């Protein structure tokens, strides 16, 4: 018996947003009488944290702490249109829509503050803590709480805004394929280290070192969540997952979590994640979509590492112990 | 259809209901009693999202018939926080960013609670073993393992 | 996780109040206390349960359907067949003008995959619905099935889907989406080595812990509220409106809190039939996939086949790349025509190659209809591309990481689909990988930058 | 017919109730309730018994009796059954082990039923209300069994009980295969008796009789066990399921058996 070790690398890029564009998202933002802000959307939170990220984007743009923003989403009677949560588009598309809506609301807020402070709105700035200050004279200020009260009860203004983000649809040219699939791309490079048992074909992923470039980590802890989970899913795709394990025989597909295989908590690779940020030109605060691409580079990196370990290429996913063992046996006479 | 009485305590409160014989505890809790913290992810016993604690033991409520729980003390995740103060495990899951979609979370917390009740200072391997019947598709498990280890440490610090 | 702030620092503003801050998630307290409300956490008095009778055959003609015993079964309130669905033949991308309509809500005359929905049973309890479903009699005439994409594309193969009339999706560019850039044959002719390899994948299930489903409640005013875990609210509402021939203002969708999606919940698959059930019975209806249905009936990630032919020089330059990609849509389109052509925009990967030829096909077979999944149209392509890169590097005796530096795209490089590269960062990722993984590469590669060639 | 549960205080009464059509005995629920949840409408009445003996473990004079309702968790934590603990822990995750019973495990189809593999190697007897039968006899026709299993009994080997479960998912995954062995060795180290049981190498746990025979008189060394490994696959007819194919199971059986014997 021999446990053989190998390592492999892969580098990838990934488009943000629906292929070829044409996928709108809209947002509404308004203040309550006491200066809290509501973001209304119809975007869906699948668990990636859409609500929290939209709150932070709105808060940054308005100039309040994010806990003063409430995100109300996914009720079609109230929320404006969103194409949906897919294609790594949520943060990018909805985030841009929220920024536009929040900017419009912020402008009204500053106009009301300007009237209260008897200055020009263009001379005002926010401190991010819930106050509006005169640039260069911060002792002259008003709280957003008071501005909202004034807008509602004294000045008859609606501190609100509408946001819309649409990348115009690109139609591929028939013969050349000239097209614009996406406006920005995330990047990754992964190095995986594996051990392969050459008598059983079993693979243990020892380490994965993932470098992800995601434009901007809007909330680093939430980015980390997605990247760790994605890296796990990539390894799972590489080595375990299939609904038809013996295709072209279509029988024997797993129907439960015992028989549809995914790595368990005792199968985890030691996972290192490093994030680079090259802000995208059109992303909200430079963000790109990290949610999908983070599960891609592990697959070829593991495949290449298996080859490095035992010298057989498994070019069909998943790279099961059976496929490795068959390849090793086919290679054996040489 | 034959209705049968069931009576047990749920998170310390007495509950009594008439249910259809053969109803799973999961359905009784969710549909009759209104505690939706246990989730039905598979109804096969393969995902752990429905985990509850019955008389101190971790059980799958989807495979347990409610009428076999007469007289039992049942704990669910919705009953863990007291007076609005989160249980140390709940706090640790928050702080470790150990929830994404949240669907597995309450089952994970149940499994972790039984572990810490019996093994206040578990090793990583013991945590892994304790969570092994619970599926998470979002997190890759590591943040959950870290949350349980952190909760154990904070427990032992409080006890010291 | 570590943020490496030294890269691209000149392009970034790091002194923001909320952006870049690790704020706690506002939804986590609900998750850890079990209070977060998912669609199935709602319960309505008098709610009916919907169970689907499914095809046991991969491909068959339906001679007859007999629902009489099921209708008489105790607890059964309604049994639905194709004739009950107002606009039974649909396709979800029709909303963005990608047709034709090619899928039935409930099978009409034919089934095209094992598991296809044929009859819907609505009953007072799940058990009654299951019992009645077992009493539905469907008489099938089994037809030859085709499971392999190459077989399906051969002349004389059984036609899977008559709405297409051929076993591939017909793009405006023909049988495949094409990209043509430079002269790929000249590139191969001038290359030191040519390597052609084939890569394949199996369907993959999203396997979210929460299965696909919805609960529909009549509002009493001819409107219906649908509590759903769809990933796309209006997309689902608007498709339901078409299928049910109901004005959209009669539909109210509530969702947005989903127990995992990964692309598996963008098919409009449970909502229309559940709304129809609620409309025809006046009762709330619950239609939630069992775990078995989630694993084997819901759309998986497509099986793919990717053939890559490369011409490479001894010095490491890839001079020509031809990619032929096949996406197995299964029996119906769903999102696959889109996913297949996403590959055309993605190949030849993040590398600058002067001669490129890409064909991507969307093929119909009698397998389970596939659809979007995390990395749609790209994940399997990246597996193929990056294993191919490893093989090419070994073929010319070069370090695999250095080989990628030589070919990596940089700002301003023209891509095969004729967009100039912007915002590239592949080189920096690889430089950091070299450092982090202790995988040394030549100094000249560590001195490179994505900003511009030669910089 | 809706599903209903009937509870009886004695096994005798429960056995009587089981004679009706559409009935099935409910143990821990991991097989039976699951089937009902998944739409198996052939069972409309679940029968169980709360007779205390069903939940008792007795160990005396090397004889072990485990009531059929005893859970895997109860076995795993029983101080007198420490050498069996890892076989009991091979079943499911913690919640399943608090529910799954010895009696139920006897009926679990491959790739389940790992504990029964251990019982087979231990040469257990399977007790019903009015008698007992050897586990091999029981397993051969378990589908036709309609009597409630009350207990399993076996003689505890002094030592030499070995158990291995191979699964792709850790720490809890269902079996690629499982192997249990009870070996006795003479003072010179040669094997004087051997019982080897295999899981997933047929549709139910089976004895590896050819391998057992080949081990007699041999030492537990690479050379000594070579004939045993060569014979390991004799008579097997492994299942193909999502975990592994029959081909793969046959290929790796000798590898894992060798590791168990040498480990």
Query: pLDDT tens track of chain A, all 334 residues?
Result: 699 999 999 999 999 999 999 999 999 999 999 999 999 999 999 999 999 999 999 999 999 999 999 999 999 999 999 999 999 999 999 999 999 999 999 999 999 999 999 999 999 999 999 999 999 999 999 999 999 999 999 999 999 999 999 999 999 999 999 999 999 999 999 999 999 999 999 999 999 999 999 999 999 999 999 999 999 999 999 999 999 999 999 999 999 999 999 999 999 999 999 999 999 999 999 999 999 999 999 999 999 999 999 999 999 999 999 999 999 999 876 5
Chain C nearest-CA residue for B80: C33
Reply yes or no: is the peptide bond before residue D111 cis, omega within 30 of 0.
Answer: yes
Interchain contact B78–C (C-beta under 8 A): yes
Closest chain C residue by Cα to residue A61:
C18
Does the beta-carbon distance from B37 to C33 stay under 8 Å? yes
Show residues of chain C in contact with D39, CB under 8 Å: 51, 130, 133, 290
CA B154 vs CA B76, B94, D40: distances in Å = 22, 14, 46
Give the CA distances from residue A232 to residues A177, A236, B97, C294, C344, in Å, rounded to whole numbers and listed in that order: 35, 6, 16, 21, 27
**pLDDT score recorded for residue C455:** 43
Q: C177-204+300-408: which CATH number, 3.40.50.1950, 3.40.225.10, 3.30.365.10, 1.10.357.10?
A: 3.30.365.10
Confirm if B39 and B106 have CB atoms less than 8 A apart.
yes
Give the neighbours of chain A: at least 3 Cβ pairs within 8 Å.
B, C, D
Q: How far is A238 from chain B (nearest CA, A)?
A: 15
Q: How far apart are CA C358 and CA C344, in angstroms?
A: 6
Q: What is the pLDDT of residue D10?
A: 97
CA C219 – CA A196 distance, rounded (Å): 59
Neighbour count for residue B92 (Cβ, 10 Å): 25
**Model confidence over D99-136: pLDDT tens digits?**
999 999 999 999 999 999 999 999 999 999 889 999 99
Query: What was the pLDDT predicted at B2?
Result: 79
Instruction: Determine the pLDDT at residue B154.
Output: 87
Residue A124: what are its φ and ψ, rounded to 5°? -105, 155
Contact flag C179-A318 (C-beta cutoff 8 Å): no
Q: Between B63, B67, B114, which is nearest D33 by CB?
A: B63
Who among B41, B94, B104 is closest to C29 (CB)?
B94
- Measured between beta carbons, the chain D residues lying within 8 angstroms of C133 are 39
Chain B closest CA to A177's CA: distance in Å? Answer: 36
Closest residue on chain B to C37 (Cα): B36
Write the CATH number for A276.
3.30.365.10
Chain D residues with CB-CB distance to C125 below 8 A: 2
Out of C134, C290, C292, name the one closest to residue D41 (CB). Answer: C134
* Residues D230, D138 share a domain: no
What residues does each domain of chain C span?
A: 48-142+207-296, 177-204+300-408
- Which residues of D have a CB under 8 Å from any CB of A? 111, 168-174, 240-245, 247-248, 251-252, 255-256, 259
Determine, for residues B100 and A225 on separate chains, whether the beta-carbon distance falls below 8 Å: yes
State yes or no: cis peptide before C157, omega within 30 of 0.
Answer: no
- Using CB atoms, which chains have 3+ pairs under 8 A with B? A, C, D
User: Does the pLDDT value for residue D161 go beyond 60?
Assistant: yes
Q: Which residues of C are less than 8 Å from A228 in CB distance?
A: 1
Cβ atoms of D259 and A271 closer than 8 Å = no
A70 and A141 both lie in a single domain: yes
Distance CA B58, CA C408 (A): 53
Boundary residue ending a domain (D132, D155, D178): D155
| Pair A228, A255 in one domain | yes
Neighbours of chain C (3+ CB pairs under 8 A): A, B, D
Cα C126 from Cα C138, distance rounded (Å): 21
Are A152 and A208 members of one domain? Answer: no
With CB atoms and an 8 Å threshold, state whether B78 touches C208.
no
Question: Residue A285 falls within a domain, yes or no?
Answer: yes
**Distance from C-alpha of C372 to C-alpha of B23, rounded to nearest angstrom:** 36
Whether residue D169 and residue A200 make contact (CB cut-off 8 A), yes or no, is no
Strands in C110-111's sheet, in edge-to-edge order, are C110-111, C60-66, C137-142
Shared domain check, A288 and A239: yes
Region D30-45: mean pLDDT is 95
* Same domain membership, residue D70 and residue D41: no
Contact list, D245 vs chain A (CB under 8 Å)? 245-246, 322
pLDDT at C317 over 90: yes
pLDDT at C374 over 80: yes
How many helices (DSSP H) and strands (DSSP E) are in chain B? Answer: 5, 5
Tens digit of pLDDT per residue, chain B (160 long)? 579 999 999 999 999 999 999 999 999 999 999 999 999 999 999 999 999 999 999 999 999 999 999 999 999 999 999 888 999 999 999 999 999 999 999 999 999 999 999 999 999 999 999 999 999 999 999 999 999 999 999 877 766 5
- Residue A248: is the preceding peptide bond cis (ω within 30°)? yes
Q: CA D118, CA D110: separation in Å to the nearest integer?
A: 14
Cβ–Cβ under 8 Å, residues D63 and D151: no
Contacts of A333 (CB under 8 A, 6+ apart): none
Residue A213 belongs to some domain of the structure:
yes
Helix (H, G, I), strand (E, B) or coil at A113: helix
Asked if A37 contacts A126 with a C-beta cutoff of 8 angstroms, the reply is: no
Of the pLDDT bands very low, low, confident and very high (cuts 50, 70, 90), residue C307 is very high
Task: State which residue of chain A sits closest to D248, comparing Cα positions.
Answer: A322
What pLDDT score was predicted for residue A27? 98
The whole-angstrom separation of Cα C71 and Cα A252 is 33
Exposure class string for D200-225: b at 16+ Cβ within 10 A, else e: bbbebbbbbebbbebbeebebeeebb
Does residue D146 share a domain with residue D90?
yes
Residues A317/A323/A324/A328 CA torsion (nearest 10 deg):
-140
Q: How many contacts (CB atoms, under 8 Å) link B and D?
A: 88
Give how far Cα C397 sits from Cα of A189, C67, C312, C385, C390, Å. Answer: 21, 67, 12, 18, 10
Which pLDDT band, with edges at 50, 70 and 90, does C451 fall under?
Answer: very high
- What domains sit in chain B, N to C, each tagged with a CATH number? 3-78 (3.10.20.30), 88-159 (1.10.150.120)
Q: Which residue of C has its CA nearest to A81?
A: C234
Q: What is the mean pLDDT of residues C186-190?
A: 98
- pLDDT tops 90 at residue C372: yes
Residue A267 sits in the same domain as residue A312: yes
Q: How far is A322 from chain C (nearest CA, A)?
A: 15
Answer yes or no: do C291 and B43 touch at CB < 8 A. yes
Cβ-Cβ contacts under 8 Å, B51 against chain D: 95
- d(C-alpha C110, C-alpha B34), whole Å: 43
- How would DSSP label each residue in C136-204? -EEEEEE------HHHHHSTTPPPS-TTTSSSB--BTTBSSEEEEES-HHHHHHH-SEEEEEEEE---B
Q: In this structure, what are the phi and psi dihedrals at residue D249, rounded to the nearest 5 degrees?
A: -60, -45
Phi/psi for C131 (5° steps) reads -65, -40
Output the average pLDDT for chain D.
96
Task: Examine the domain organization and report whether A52 and A8 are in the same domain.
Answer: no
- Answer yes or no: do A137 and A237 share one domain: no
Taking CB atoms and an 8 Å limit, are B41 and C291 in contact across chains? yes
Domain holding D137: CATH number? Answer: 3.30.465.10
Question: What is the Cα–Cα distance from A7 to A195, expressed in whole angstroms?
Answer: 9
Q: Reply yes or no on whether A272 is catalytic.
A: no
Give the pLDDT of residue D160. 84
Count of other CB atoms within 10 angstroms of residue D34: 19
Give Cα separations from A332 to A326, A327, C256, D42 (angstroms). 10, 9, 54, 51
* Mean pLDDT in residue range D14-18: 97
The 3 state secondary structure assigned to chain D is: CCCEEEEECCHHHHHHHCCCCCEEECCCCCCHHHHHHCCCCCCCEEEEECCHHHHCEEEECCEEEEECCCEHHHHHHCHHHHHHHHHHHCCCCHHHHCCCEHHHHCCCCCCCCHHHHHHHHCCCEEEECCEEEEHHHHHHCHHHCCCCEEEEEEECCCCCEEEEEEECCCCCCCEEEEEEEEEEECCCCCEEEEEEEEECCCCCCEECHHHHHHHCCCCCCHHHHHHHHHHCCCCCCCCCCCCCCHHHHHHHHHHHHHHHHHC
**D70 vs D75: CA distance, rounded Å:** 7
Contact between chains at D248 and A325 (C-beta distance less than 8 A) = yes
Name residues 70-109 of chain B within 8 A of D (Cβ). Answer: none
ipTM exceeding cut-off 0.95 for this assembly:
yes
Q: Which residues of A touch D169 (CB under 8 A)?
A: 261-264, 266-267
Look at residues A165, A192, A219 and tell me which one is the last residue of a structural domain.
Answer: A165
Sequence-separated (6 or more) residues with CB below 8 Å from residue C38: B39, B103, C210, C229, C257, C258, C259
C207 Cα to chain B: minimum distance (Å): 7
Residues A227 and A311 in one domain: yes
Using the 3D structure, point to which of A132, A165, A198 is the last residue of a domain: A165
Percent of chain C residues past pLDDT 90, beyond the cut: 99
Burial class of D77 by CB neighbour count within 10 A (0 to 12, 13 to 18, 19+) = middle
Q: Determine contact: B55 vs chain D, CB below 8 A.
A: no
Which residue among B34, B35, B105 places its CB closest to the CB of C32?
A: B105
Q: Which of chain B's residues have a Cβ under 8 Å away from the Cβ of D72? A: none
> Please, is D116 exposed, middle or buried when counting C-beta atoms within 10 Å of its C-beta (0-12, 13-18, 19+)?
buried
In our burial notation (b when 16+ CB lie closer than 10 A, e otherwise), range A78-111 reads ebbbbbbbbbbbbbbbbbbbbbbbbebbbebbbb
Q: Do B143 and A228 touch (CB under 8 A)?
A: yes
Of D139, D155, D171, the residue that ends a domain is D155
Measure the CA angle with vertex C289, ends C284 and C293; round to 5°. Answer: 155
Domain coverage including residue A194: 3-16+182-331
Domain count, chain A: 2
Same domain? D201 vs D233: yes
Cβ-nearest to B58 among D2, D38, D98: D98
Distance from CA of A166 to the nearest CA of C (A): 14
Instruction: Decide if B48 touches D, using CB distance below 8 A.
Output: yes
* Cα–Cα distance, A305 to A192 (Å, whole number): 6
Decide: helix, strand or coil at residue A115. Answer: helix
Cβ-defined contact of B99 to C38 (cutoff 8 Å): no
The residue from D106, D124, D155 where one domain ends is D155
Comparing alpha-carbon positions, the chain C residue that sits nearest to D3 is: C127
Statement to judge: residues A126 and A257 lie in one domain: no
Given this model, what pLDDT does residue C453 score? 56
> Do A231 and A261 reside in the same domain of the chain?
yes
Q: How many Å apart are CA C370 and CA B133, to the nearest integer?
A: 29
Rounded to whole angstroms, how far apart are CA atoms C211 and C288? 7
Q: Of A241, A272, A292, A322, which one is the catalytic site residue?
A: A292
The domain in which residue D141 lies consists of: 52-155
Same domain? For D209 and D132 the reply is: no
Asked if D35 and C159 touch (Cβ cutoff 8 Å), the reply is no
Question: D252, A240: Cβ pair inside 8 Å?
Answer: no
The count of structural domains within chain D is 3
Q: Would you place residue C223 in the very low, low, confident or very high pLDDT band (cuts 50, 70, 90)? A: very high
> Which tens digit of pLDDT belongs to each residue from C83-122?
999 999 999 999 999 999 999 999 999 999 999 999 999 9
Rounded distance, CA C94 to CA C337, Å?
12
CATH code reported for the domain at C48-142+207-296: 3.90.1170.50
Q: Which residue of D has its CA nearest to C130?
A: D39
- Domain stops at, among A165, A200, A235: A165
Q: Are residues D252 and A200, on separate chains, in Cβ contact within 8 Å?
A: yes
């Amino acid at each position: 018996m021999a446990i053989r070790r190998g390592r492999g690398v892969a580098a990838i890029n990934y488009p943000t947003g629906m292929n070829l564009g044409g996928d709108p998202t809209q947002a509404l933002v308004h203040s309550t009488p006491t200066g809290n802000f509501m973001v209304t959307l119809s975007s869906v939170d699948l668990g990636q944290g859409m609500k929290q990220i939209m709150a932070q984007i709105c808060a940054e743009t308005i100039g309040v702490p994010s806990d003063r923003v409430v995100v109300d989403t996914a009720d079609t009677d109230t929320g404006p249109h969103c194409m949906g949560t897919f294609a790594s588009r949520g943060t990018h598309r909805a985030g841009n829509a929220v920024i536009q809506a929040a900017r419009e609301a912020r402008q009204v807020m500053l106009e009301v503050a300007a009237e209260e402070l008897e200055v020009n709105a263009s001379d005002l700035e926010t401190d991010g803590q819930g106050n509006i200050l005169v640039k260069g004279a911060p002792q002259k200020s008003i709280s957003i709480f008071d501005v909202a009260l004034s807008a509602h009860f004294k000045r008859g203004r609606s501190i609100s805004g509408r946001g819309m983000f649409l990348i115009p649809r690109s139609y591929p040219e028939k013969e050349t394929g000239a097209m614009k699939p996406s406006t920005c791309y995330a990047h990754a490079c992964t190095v995986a280290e594996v051990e392969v048992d050459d008598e059983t074909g079993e693979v243990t992923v020892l380490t994965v070192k993932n470098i992800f470039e995601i434009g901007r980590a809007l909330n680093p802890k939430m980015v980390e969540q997605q990247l760790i989970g994605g890296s796990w899913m990539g390894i799972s795709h590489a080595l375990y997952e299939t609904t038809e394990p013996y295709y072209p025989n279509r029988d024997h597909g797993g129907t439960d979590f015992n028989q549809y295989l995914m790595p368990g908590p005792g199968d985890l690779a030691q996972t290192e994640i490093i994030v680079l940020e090259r802000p995208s030109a059109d992303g909200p605060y430079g963000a790109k979509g990290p949610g999908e691409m983070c599960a891609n580079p592990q697959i070829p990196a593991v495949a290449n590492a298996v080859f490095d370990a035992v010298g057989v290429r498994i070019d069909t996913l998943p790279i099961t112990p059976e496929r490795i063992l068959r390849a090793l046996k086919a290679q054996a006479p040489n | 259809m034959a209705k049968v009485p069931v009576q047990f305590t749920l998170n310390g409160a007495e509950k009594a209901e008439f249910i259809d014989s053969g109803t799973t505890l999961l359905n009784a809790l969710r549909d009759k009693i209104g505690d939706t913290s246990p989730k039905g992810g598979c109804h096969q016993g393969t995902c752990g999202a429905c985990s509850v604690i019955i008389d101190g033991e971790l059980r799958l409520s989807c495979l347990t018939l409610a009428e076999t729980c007469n007289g039992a003390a049942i704990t669910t995740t919705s009953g863990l926080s007291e007076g609005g103060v989160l249980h140390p495990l709940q706090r640790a899951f928050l702080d470790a960013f150990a929830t994404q979609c949240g669907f597995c979370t309450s089952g994970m917390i149940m499994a972790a609670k039984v572990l810490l009740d019996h093994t206040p200072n578990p090793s990583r391997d013991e945590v892994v073993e304790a969570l092994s019947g619970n599926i998470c598709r979002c997190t890759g498990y590591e943040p959950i393992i870290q949350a349980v280890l952190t909760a154990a440490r904070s427990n032992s610090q409080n006890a010291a | 996780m570590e943020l490496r702030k030294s890269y691209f620092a000149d392009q970034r503003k790091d002194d923001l109040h909320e952006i870049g801050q690790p704020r706690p998630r506002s939804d986590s307290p609900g998750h850890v206390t079990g209070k977060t409300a998912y669609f199935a956490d709602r319960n309505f008095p008098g709610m009916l349960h919907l169970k689907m009778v499914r095809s046991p055959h991969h491909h068959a003609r339906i001679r007859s359907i007999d629902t009489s015993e099921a209708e008489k079964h105790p607890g059964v309130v309604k049994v639905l067949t194709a004739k009950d669905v107002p606009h039974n033949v649909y396709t979800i991308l029709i909303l963005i003008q990608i047709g034709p309509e090619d899928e039935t809500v409930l099978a009409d005359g034919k089934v095209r995959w094992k598991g296809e929905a044929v009859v819907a049973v609505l009953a007072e309890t799940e058990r009654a619905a299951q019992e009645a479903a077992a009493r539905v009699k469907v008489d099938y005439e089994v037809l030859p099935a085709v499971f392999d994409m190459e077989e399906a594309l051969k002349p004389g193969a059984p036609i899977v889907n008559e709405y297409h009339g051929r076993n591939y999706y017909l793009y405006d560019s023909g049988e495949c989406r094409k990209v043509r850039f430079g002269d790929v044959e000249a590139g191969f002719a001038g290359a030191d080595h040519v390597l052609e390899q084939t890569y394949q994948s199996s369907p993959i299930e999203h396997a979210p812990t929460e299965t696909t489903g919805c609960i529909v409640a009549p509002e009493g005013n001819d409107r219906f509220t649908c509590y759903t875990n769809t990933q796309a609210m209006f997309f689902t509402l608007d498709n339901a409106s078409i299928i049910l021939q109901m004005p959209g203002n009669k539909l109210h969708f509530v969702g947005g809190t989903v127990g995992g999606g990964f692309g598996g919940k963008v098919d409009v698959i449970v909502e229309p039939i559940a709304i129809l059930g609620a409309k025809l019975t006046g009762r709330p209806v619950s239609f939630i996939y069992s775990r078995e249905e989630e694993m084997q009936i819901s759309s998986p990630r497509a099986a793919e086949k990717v053939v890559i032919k490369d011409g490479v020089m001894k010095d490491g330059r890839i001079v020509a790349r031809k990619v032929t990609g096949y996406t197995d849509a299964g029996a119906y389109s769903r999102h696959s025509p889109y996913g297949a052509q996403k590959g055309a925009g993605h190949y030849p990967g993040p590398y600058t190659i002067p001669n490129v030829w890409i064909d991507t096909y969307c093929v119909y077979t009698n397998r389970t209809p596939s659809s979007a999944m995390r990395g749609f149209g790209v994940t399997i392509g990246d597996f193929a591309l990056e294993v191919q890169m490893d093989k090419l590097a070994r073929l010319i005796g070069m370090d695999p990481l250095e080989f990628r530096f030589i070919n990596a795209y940089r700002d301003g490089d023209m891509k095969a689909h004729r967009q100039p590269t912007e915002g590239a960062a592949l080189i920096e990722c690889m430089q950091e990988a070299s450092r982090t993984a202790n995988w040394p590469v030549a100094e000249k590669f560590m001195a490179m930058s994505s900003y511009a060639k030669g910089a | 017919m809706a599903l209903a549960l009937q509870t009886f205080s004695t096994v005798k009464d429960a056995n009587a109730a089981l004679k009706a059509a559409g009935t099935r005995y409910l143990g821990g629920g991991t097989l039976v309730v699951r089937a009902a949840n998944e739409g198996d409408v052939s069972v409309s009445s679940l029968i169980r018994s709360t007779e205390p003996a069903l939940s008792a473990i007795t160990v005396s004079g090397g004889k072990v009796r485990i009531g059929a309702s005893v859970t895997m968790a109860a076995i795993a934590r029983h101080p007198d059954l420490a050498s069996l603990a890892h076989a009991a822990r091979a079943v499911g995750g913690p919640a399943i082990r608090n529910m799954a019973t010895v009696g139920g495990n006897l009926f679990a189809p491959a790739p389940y039923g790992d504990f029964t593999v251990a019982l087979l190697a231990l040469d257990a007897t399977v007790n019903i209300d009015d008698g007992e039968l050897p586990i091999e006899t029981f397993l051969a026709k378990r589908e036709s069994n309609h009597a409630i299993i009350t207990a399993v009994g076996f003689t505890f080997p002094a030592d030499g009980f070995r158990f291995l479960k191979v699964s792709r998912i850790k720490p809890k995954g269902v079996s690629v295969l499982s192997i249990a062995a009870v070996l006795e060795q003479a003072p010179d180290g040669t094997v004087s008796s051997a019982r080897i049981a295999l899981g997933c190498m047929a549709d139910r746990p089976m004895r590896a009789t050819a391998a057992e025979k080949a081990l007699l008189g041999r030492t537990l060394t690479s050379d000594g066990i070579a004939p045993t490994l060569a014979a390991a696959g004799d008579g097997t007819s492994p299942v193909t399921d999502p975990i592994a194919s029959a081909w793969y199971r046959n290929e790796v059986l000798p590898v894992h058996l060798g590791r168990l014997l040498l480990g």
